[in-house]
Structure 1
């Protein structure tokens, strides 16, 4: 559940400034060597490689982003189903279990609400949810066994298993990111492409700064968006709106008990 070790603003600023500098250096190298623009085929190969890497990175980040949203829906369904299965248990045990289930869902919400701030509150909420898992499981299974009905025991245990298993799946999805070498590769390949672009501008007397700035800004924003998708609790593109499903599930639990 650890956030990115790279500050996205510092990363993007360094990338943008580096792109402009690389274009300038490439232009100066081309002028000093009196190059005719270099090999178009080789330049095209590098630019194509950069485009391919950007496409795969964006596609993977978008797919993981959607997967995280889907997992929130899956957890909301799992919690709602488990809560309804409590109706199968003896009435004397239902109220205490319902209260624990509500506290559990509240702890789950707090875990992901605080995770983007990288504060101990996220870990505290997570540990509280784990403790409630053990309490809910023990009490619910004991109550189901007292009914003497194996069908009830099976239904309740399966619903609770699904509710608890999704927490591990969500944690795994939160930690699922491409290797850091991909970030460095995007960084380095972008600079190399800018260097080649500047080297190929020898037919110009001066650097066309407007085009250079637009190129650098477009590439920087694209990579920024890719990283934003990878860490949807930290940036502008967030999965927080999907948490509303869990909030509505909690509200439904509280309303049904009043």
Structure 2
């Protein structure tokens, strides 16, 4: 949660500062020890190799967690868009006046769902959008209940109620998925271990008197990998966002006249 609240550029500068700072500290310490480091070179070589390997495993683990959550969020958007689209089609089979009121409200509900996907999870703007969506859900459910009361034996209201329930559940799943982030403890371990591993690598290279540029490039690559991991876990900010395209497409399809005419009787 601490890292999630930071601006993307601020986070990138912070990560670069930590990794490059650890690398420079290792280089300076290695140069200071180079004159009397004959007995330490082999142990440092073994240690840095072990730390680099362990760092790679931890970074890969954190990246896999972030990628998994990112893919789940994309799937949740598609699921909700499909549920809304089916609900909109089935709403066209309702009797009036519930039909017209439900169709109008479903259009507004879809726009609200798009707003939810474009605001910062847990932020004030998203809280307002979620509250508005819940208000719309209550009205839609009330209209569905009225349609069911008017024609308790008809299949159309029953099918509509079933799909409306799936639509409400789909949005709840998506909202919770937006806040399901990689645990902060995992991210802290990644940063600390990467900094220590780079510092030991730089120290070992400095005692040998070569490879300084390679160490700096390794630090930049670690920063890039960490930034991608953080970016994947920030669904509405950064370079890698969860698109709301499926919901936008559904909203666009709702601008056309209803495909089915209003039923003339129950």
CA 1:256 to 1:196, structure 2 compared with 1: closer, same or farther past 3 Å?
same
Counterpart check, 1:29 vs 2:26: no
Aligned-residue Cα RMSD (Å) equals 2.4
More helix by share: 1
Aligned to 2:131: 127
Q: Tell me, yes or no, if the aligned pair for 1:37 and 1:203 is still in contact at 8 Å.
A: no
**Aligned position for 1:49:** 54
Give deviations 1:188-247, integer Å, cap 9, x for gaps. 111101111122124533x6442232111111011000110011211001122xx12211
TM-score (norm 1): 0.88
Q: Distance in 2 between matches of 1:119 and 1:181?
A: 22
Partner of 2:84: 79
Alpha-carbon separation, structure 1, partners of 2:3 and 2:85: 29
Q: Deviations over 1:128-163 (max 9, x none)?
A: 111010001011121122113163343122101100
Gaps of 5+ in 1: none
Q: Secondary structure at the match of 2:208?
A: coil
- Mapped to 2, the partners of 1:136 and 1:145 lie a distance apart of 14
Following superposition, the deviation at residue 119 of structure 1 comes to 6.1
State the match for 1:237 in structure 2. 240
Aligned equivalents of 2:127 and 2:18: distance in 1?
Answer: 38
- Report if the CA contact (8 A) 2:202-2:212 is conserved: no
Instruction: Tell me the residue number matched to 2:172.
Output: 168
Distance 1:236 1:56 in 2: 21
Among 189, 193, 205, the residue aligned to 2:193: 189
| Cα deviation 1:23-82 (Å, max 9, x = unaligned) | 333234334252325343332221111101111111121111111111111001100111
2 CA distance for matches of 1:3 and 1:193? 21
What residue is the counterpart of 1:223 in the other structure? Answer: 226
Give how far 1:183 is off: 1.6
Q: Distance in 2 between matches of 1:80 and 1:202?
A: 62
* Partners of 2:202 and 2:52 in 1: CA distance: 13
Question: 2:262 maps to what in 1?
Answer: none
Q: Which runs of 5+ in 2 are unaligned?
A: 260-266
